[in-house]
Amino acid sequence: MTIETTKGPLLEVRDLHVYYGHVQALKGISFHVNEGEIVTLIGGNGAGKTTTLHTLSKLLTPRSGEILLGGQPIHKIDADEIVRTGITHVPEGRRIFSRLTVRENLEIGAYLLTSKTEITRRIEASFELFPRLRERERQYGGTLSGGEQQMLAIARALMLDPRIILLDEPSMGLSPLFVEKIFEIIQSVNKSGKTVVLVEQNALMALEIAHRGYVLQSGHVVMGGDADLLAKDPSVQSAYLGGEIAAAL
């Protein structure tokens, strides 16, 4: 399924309701993402952030509501078709193939491509963005550090040249040094022309690199706007940024 962008947001979520069995996880959320933006979703545990990404990539099916890509509805198509529209997902926990090499993981990321030449070109492009992966090219995924695995997960998601990349908690479990590196990579990916939807526990760093953000709470969007304004909002500072950090902003 090919999606052509029409005038308006690249991605739009309208009144989305999602359930786990009888438990409602998303309660009518609405938001939009413009082409070329980094948009972050912040909120506490259980707010619905990961559920939102799972619904966008069709790992979950909404009970009601709409998801539009380029103005066209995609909420009724299958997960494999979602990938073909240009949305890829880096899940929480990275989910790389631990018994495959770095290169084999990247090759799997290119599963829709048929040209070996193009696959090789994209792997080389990944190694340009992630030089450390080139050094680990023949190393098994399970032997990489947490930060290296996160690099591999992002690189694998980029192999299909997506329009939108969904990132779920990319800094989780990483050392402070790797956290900074991962956020630099996210900015580089965005500057290369990719639109990014970012779910991140480190709300301060997420808001620092994002263009806009939305605050989720108990399955609702309770606030949204420019990232710098959200970072200065007293309620956001108190709930997600911590007192000392808030005072410094």
Q: Give the per-residue pLDDT at 114.
A: 86
Residue 244 clears pLDDT 50, i.e. is over it: no
d(CA 164, CA 193): 9
Asked, for residue 78, whether it belongs to a domain, the answer is yes
Asked, for residue 2, whether it belongs to a domain, the answer is no
Give the bridge partners for 212, in sequence order. Answer: 39, 226
Mean residue pLDDT of the chain comes to 90
State pLDDT tens for residues 131-181: 999 999 999 999 999 889 999 999 999 999 999 999 999 988 888 888 898
Q: How many CA atoms lie within 13 A of 80 on its CB side?
A: 2
Asked, for residue 205, whether it belongs to a domain, the answer is yes
Q: Read off the pLDDT band of 247 (50, 70, 90).
A: very low
Residue 3 clears pLDDT 60, i.e. is over it: no
Specify the number of domains making up the chain: 1
Q: Read off the pLDDT band of 66 (50, 70, 90).
A: very high
Residue 32 clears pLDDT 50, i.e. is over it: yes
Asked, for residue 4, whether it belongs to a domain, the answer is no
Q: Give the per-residue pLDDT at 7.
A: 57
Asked, for residue 5, whether it belongs to a domain, the answer is no
Asked, for residue 93, whether it belongs to a domain, the answer is yes
| pTM for the structure as a whole | 0.90
Give the bridge partners for 14, in sequence order. Answer: 66
The residue segments making up the domain with residue 203 are: 11-248
Sequence letter at residue 105: N
CATH of the domain at 126: 3.40.50.300
Asked, for residue 1, whether it belongs to a domain, the answer is no
Give the bridge partners for 167, in sequence order. Answer: 90, 198
Structure tokens at 138: 């023949």
Give the total residue count for the chain.
Answer: 249
